[in-house]
Structure 1
Amino acid sequence: MDTITLWQLAALAAASTLVGFSKTAVSGANTISLAVFAAVLPARESTGVLLPILIAGDILAVLVYRRHAHWPTLLKLFPAVAVGVVAGTVFMLWADDAAVRTSIGAILLFMAGVTIWRRRARPEPAPEQDDEDGPTRGGRLKARSYGVLGGFTTMVANAGGPVMSLYLLSAGFRKLGFLGTSAWFFLIVNTSKVPFSVGLGLIDARSLLLDAALVLFVIPGAYLGRACVGRINQKLFDRIVIGATVLGGLQLLVR
């Protein structure tokens, strides 16, 4: 981190702006930010630098969409997510960068494939239901499966966004309910990850110093996302989320 060039700092700043945009517009798009941070910094250490940036974006998203969260869904997810976070912490004790990237990339592509298959097999919700906050379908087994995967991926690579995005889409959430539920979910989960990341040595004084230089770039991204989200129709919104998930998974696999 002591040898970051100006161009690398600019790339991290752009990735931080994308974090803000993804938190208020297209959740899951920040997998691109994850890839940028992992390209500029050592992949393992990059997760510790990115976490406070994500939390800043979560705070902004909660301020915008706090009234649209579906709390029954959150309460159903949290126990499974806790299991995934603990499993991810154990994994991080021995896994190297290559193992982390390969595992998360494969999981993201698999989940994207499952979601595409499910959406082709079932009719989509009516597009005029954009203001609906709750899910149209769900299930305990699905919530537990996605919850464990989300907790695991968010702990090892801050890549829980795409997994949870796929769950919320498959459960039938519309835009506002999707963004509000996702905002509260990741504010709570990412904040709870801080002690684990400190214990693993991923967050320290140097990483926080870099965060202080990058966190302000989250704000314009969040503002841009808030301005754009109302212009994105539901079908396009779903496709962008799935596309960002596939792109992020491929980036992790090919790097």
Structure 2
Amino acid sequence: MPFDLVFFAAMVPAVILTGLAKGGFSGIGLLSLPLMALVVSPVTAAAIMLPLLIAQDVVSVWSYRREFDRRNLATLAPGALLGILMGYLLAAKVSDAAVVLAVGLISVGFALRRMLSDGKKPTVATQASWGAGSFWGFFCGFTSMVAHAGGPPFQIYAMPQKLPPAVFVGTGAIFFAAMNWVKIIPYIALGQFSAANLIASAALLPFAIAATFAGVWLVRRVPAERFYGIIYWLLVVVGLKLVFDGLGGLGLRLWG
């Protein structure tokens, strides 16, 4: 793997986006893999990212260690573990493009519905529940394992609860940190690690850590209403990106 200017020109912005996502602006990190795929294969990109994600998790979990919702973690965890297991067992059989397309459509539909309804009338905050938590937790684990797209399902479950921004981010930080550690075993079993990939991860680590601190700093200074407005728009953008990626992977086009 050549560590040249082209490599770093694509990889450094991708890692910075992931760091900002880990710091609190959930969803934007999904834009990093397409950037990385410009210079390495998607499988290689995923292998390079996992150690970086784990390092970023240390920063985000420490930063929000007192600001998280235990009930959300409890309701999401069982489904997420099952989702990771299913993603591993079906990794060679499930079409990544189909999963990405489904997640994209759900994300765009959810974000637009919430944005339009919030503009017309106040909505009542929902509560964490075992039924919804198990359902969306499964999709978090499955999509994270198969298509590296676990953020949107988490947002769909947690955002209607209108948690304080720091609690929302802290809950996601702990949840995905735990998932990333669990994913190490299936990633090794699938042969997605190599010495070259680990060297690339080490070279990008300083950018990953700095960007995560920047994300934490920004989240703590953005008012709650504006924070959720930003997250909804990010969910729309990321959802549309997933829709285009999914259609392209299935050999379909919206035009042409």
> Do these two structures clear the TM 0.5 threshold for a shared fold by scoring above it?
yes
- Residue 198 of structure 1 deviates from its aligned partner by 0.7
Q: Which residue in the other structure is 1:58 paired with?
A: 57
Deviation string 1:57-81 (CA, Å, 9 cap, x unpaired) is: 1111011111011112111111100
Inter-partner Cα distance in structure 1 for 2:170 and 2:45 = 27
Alignment RMSD, CA only? Answer: 2.1
Structure 1 segment 212-223 matched on structure 2, within 5 A: 212-223=202-213
Kindly indicate whether the alpha-carbon contact (under 8 Å) linking 1:31 and 1:159 is maintained by their aligned counterparts in 2.
Answer: yes
CA distance in 2, matches of 1:12, 1:182: 24
Deviation at 1:246, TM superposition (A): 2.7
Letter in 1 for 2:214: L
Q: Report the secondary structure of 1:66's partner residue.
A: coil
Q: Structure 1 residues 247, 116: closer, same or farther in 2, change over 3 A? A: closer
Q: Deviations over 1:128-169 (max 9, x none)?
A: xxxxxxx75233221111111100111112211222122210
On the 8 A contact 1:31/1:244 being kept in 2, the answer is no
Residues 178 and 213 of structure 1: is their aligned pair in 2 closer, same or farther, counting only changes over 3 Å?
A: same
Preserved CA contact (<8 Å) 1:105 1:251:
no
Identity %, equivalent residues? 30
Aligned position for 1:38: 37
Q: Tell me which residue corresponds to 1:209.
A: 199
CA deviations on 1:63-110 (whole Å, 9 max, x unpaired) are: 111101111211111110011111111231234xxx313422331331
8 A contact 2:126–2:160 mirrored in 1:
no
SS of alignment partner, residue 66 of structure 2: helix
Partner SS state of residue 92, structure 1: coil
CA distance, structure 1, for counterparts of residue 35 and residue 228 of structure 2:
23
Q: For each residue in 1:233-253, what CA deviation from the matched residue of structure 2 results, as whole angstroms up to 9, or x when unmatched? A: 223222322322232233234
What is the rounded CA distance, in whole Å, between the counterparts of 1:12 and 1:235 in structure 2? 32
The number of residues matched between the two structures is 242
Aligned to 2:150: 160
Partner Cα separation in structure 2 for residue 236 and residue 109 of structure 1? 24
Q: Which runs of 5+ in 2 are unaligned?
A: 246-256
Task: Check whether the contact 1:88–1:152 (CA below 8 A) recurs between aligned residues.
Answer: yes
What does residue 244 of structure 2 align with?
254
Following superposition of structure 1 onto structure 2, how do residues 117-136 of structure 1 map, counting pairs within 5 Å? 117-118=113-114, 120=117, 123-124=122-123, 136=126
Unaligned runs of 5+ in 1: 126-134
Q: Deviations over 1:23-42 (max 9, x none)?
A: 11312211111222233321
CA distance in 2, matches of 1:46, 1:109: 24
Equivalence map 1:13-28=2 (5 Å): 13-28=12-27
Structure 1 residue aligned with 2:78: 79
The yes-or-no answer on 1:114 pairing with 2:113 is no
Of 156, 165, 187, which aligns to 1:197? 187
Per-residue Cα deviation, 1:157-212 (whole angstroms, up to 9, x for no partner):
22112221222102322201101111111111111100100101112222111111
Matched with 1:12 is 11
Does the C-alpha gap of structure 1 residues 90 and 4 become closer, same or farther in structure 2, counting only changes over 3 Å? farther
Distance in 2 separating the partners of 1:114 and 1:252: 14
Separation (CA, whole Å) in 2 of partners of 1:157 and 1:207: 19
**More displaced stretch, 84-93 vs 99-108:** 99-108
Distance of 1:222 and 1:241 partners within structure 2: 17
Query: Once structures 1 and 2 are overlaid, which stretch shifts more, 237-246 or 204-213?
Result: 237-246
What is residue 135 of structure 2 aligned with on the other side?
Answer: 145
Match of 1:232 in 2: 222
